[in-house]
Chains A and B, each alone.
Chain A
């Protein structure tokens, strides 16, 4: 068993927290690292998109949007009828699991680049497309209980939250500038792995610090946080095969299907569904699903897809 050096920082951060010796990062630095990762992924994706834009990509994008809308419909009945969660909590959590985690995607990207596995370089577009449909489905599932007073504020939070805005904005800049944006790559390209390592150090601390909350919510949430990524990843891999993506593309779409949002969706849900228990969804996605994907899921998707394709 070999752990990727970037992932080792996640374990380091978690271990330090569990030993009650947390390595605390200044809040501003953590936000800067998040900003860097979003811009780096968006920019590189946009530059690639400028040479790959085609009608086929449009069809792929529509399929990806449909995939993002499907996942909450799979998560919702499990949460509502098996887990016995309230309608609002089930809908909110289903939205979290239908949306994606950019950090998980960044770890998968780092793994592909470290192992020299080629992938479709415009994948950042799919990340941006997968952020939003699940939120809309989550709101629809809880439509009778939406207590938000200002619908404009809800729409604004869905489409203009910082994560989506930075990703889409960088993607557009990269797309418009094309090779003209290459001069930014020494910064956003070369430093990517180092920044990701620091980001994961903090994520390890945060994930471990929320572990105690799992006791409050019961073991169902842990089981759900493990099985839902496996369902999403399997469907993502099948969709990637249907769309004719490369092995690297299959690994990335499996990772996106298996990931759960903990930045964009909580922000939107806090406005749209204030009655939902945000802590429940964040604990599941951050303390169960994110570590599962980083430590077990991504290496597994990668090995399994490479084995099947070989």
Chain B
């Protein structure tokens, strides 16, 4: 697993934990949870797009 992926997973996990901790104290943690969801979607979708593009290049090459 590369460093970038570990970093992204750690950040998303941290945001979820912080968001839930804030909500538990009746503080606005919804924002961090929403951001973690957006980052998850962007991380997964960008990796899928990149994987699709590289497999197309291999088949064309």
> In the complex, A237→B12 CA distance in Å?
23
At the interface, yes or no: A295 with Cβ under 8 Å from chain B? Answer: yes
Q: Which residues of A contact B7 (CB under 8 A)?
A: 78, 82-83, 220, 223
At the interface, yes or no: A19 with Cβ under 8 Å from chain B? Answer: no
Asked if B3 and A300 sit within 8 Å, CB to CB, the answer is no
Number of interface residues of B (CB under 8 A): 24
Q: Which of B14, B27, B32 contacts A296 (CB 8 A)?
A: B32
- Range for the number of chain A residues in contact with chain B: 20 to 34
> In the complex, A83→B4 CA distance in Å?
6
Asked if B35 and A300 sit within 8 Å, CB to CB, the answer is no
Asked if A219 and B3 sit within 8 Å, CB to CB, the answer is no
Given contacts A220-B4, A223-B11, contact A215 B27 (CB under 8 A): no
At the interface, yes or no: A181 with Cβ under 8 Å from chain B? Answer: no
Q: Which of B12, B27, B34, B39 contacts A303 (CB 8 A)?
A: B27
> In the complex, A53→B35 CA distance in Å?
41
Asked if A222 and B22 sit within 8 Å, CB to CB, the answer is no
At the interface, yes or no: B16 with Cβ under 8 Å from chain A? Answer: no
Q: Which residues of A contact B34 (CB under 8 A)?
A: 296
**Which chain B residues (4-33) contact chain A, with CB distance < 8 Å?**
4, 7-8, 11-12, 14-15, 22, 25, 27-28, 30-32
Q: Which of B4, B22, B30, B38 contacts A1 (CB 8 A)?
A: B30
Query: Would you list 17 pairs from A and B whose C-beta atoms are within 8 A, ordered by A residue?
Result: A1-B28, A81-B3, A83-B4, A83-B7, A214-B42, A215-B46, A218-B4, A223-B12, A226-B15, A226-B35, A296-B32, A296-B34, A296-B35, A300-B22, A303-B27, A304-B22, A307-B25
